[in-house]
Amino acid sequence: MSTLDDALVELAATPVLLVALDFDGTVSPHDDDPMKARMLSTARAAIDALAALPATTVALVSGRSLGDLRIIAEHDDDSLLLLAGSHGAEFWRPGEGIIEPADESADGALRDRLFGEAQSAVAGYPGVWIEPKTFGFAVHTRLVKDVDAAAAANAAVDAIMASEAPDWRRRIGQNIVEFAFRHEGKDTAVARLREQTGATAVLFAGDDVTDEDALRSLLPGDLGVHIGTNETAATVSLPDIPAFAEALGELARLRASRPE
């Protein structure tokens, strides 16, 4: 059997399983309009099958703000899925709902001011737009055809942040640079979810640079999966979302048939 086949068999047999998944590029294709992103149907089917199994928890761990993540994941109050938004600074749990973060009104006021300054700084670069987030904002350059223009827009915002908020966390992803006054990462999100669920093994999957913190934090017996061809700390790389959805479906089948 392959490394992936062996790992899926081991995960299926673990007493308490946590399946923690990035959203964009992992279970949903990237979309030029981020709010139109939706799960691939095969990924949705596999996730629903896993979430319905005993001693099995599925969590979406995303850089998206929690409210936006609920929309794109088509997540309602009856969902079995846990959510970790804003790289693990916001949570939603079944039976509890939103776990409110601490009040940080002063940081919020600074966020709003810097958001406006960033918008003004990129106004002359067609296709660049600034996304508001709960704990900061993000600079999107996916729609920019001129590489130099994208670099110049990012440099303009970088200059603002270096002057006004040098202690904010800066993250680089695919055609996105994000700034946040909260410093949580997907590694801390997975650690918190592991503790809350009592997981004896974790599968974490992602496609972007921001997922590498979580992949590097995994323990022996866990499985890290990277979707794509970039360099990664993951144990296994798969070429695309359909291939990963197939692996999730196989994990659901193996776990459903395990002896009690």
Nearest one of 193, 213, 210 to 201, comparing CA atoms:
193
Share of the chain above pLDDT 90, in %: 92
Rounded Cα gap, residues 193 and 209, in angstroms: 20
Confidence (pLDDT) at 3:
87
DSSP per position, 64-133? S-HHHHHHHTT--TT---EEEEGGGTEEEETTTEEEPPPP-HHHHHHHHHHHHHHHHHHTTSTT-EEEEE
Tens digit of each residue's pLDDT (9 = 90 or more) over 122-158: 999 999 999 999 999 999 999 999 999 999 999 999 9
pTM above 0.85, yes or no: yes
| CA 203/CA 154 separation, integer angstroms | 34
Q: What domains, with CATH codes, occur in the chain?
A: 3-101+184-256 (3.40.50.1000), 105-180 (3.30.70.1020)
For 143, half-sphere exposure in the C-beta direction (CA atoms, 13 angstrom radius) is 12
Q: How many residues does the chain have?
A: 260
pLDDT average, residue stretch 95-119: 88
- C-alpha to C-alpha distance for 221 and 7, rounded to whole angstroms: 8
pLDDT above 60 (res 1): no
The C-alpha atoms of residue 130 and residue 178 are separated, in whole angstroms, by 9
Cα 6 vs. chain centroid, distance in angstroms? 25
Q: Is 78 exposed, middle or buried (0-12, 13-18, 19+ CB in 10 A)?
A: exposed
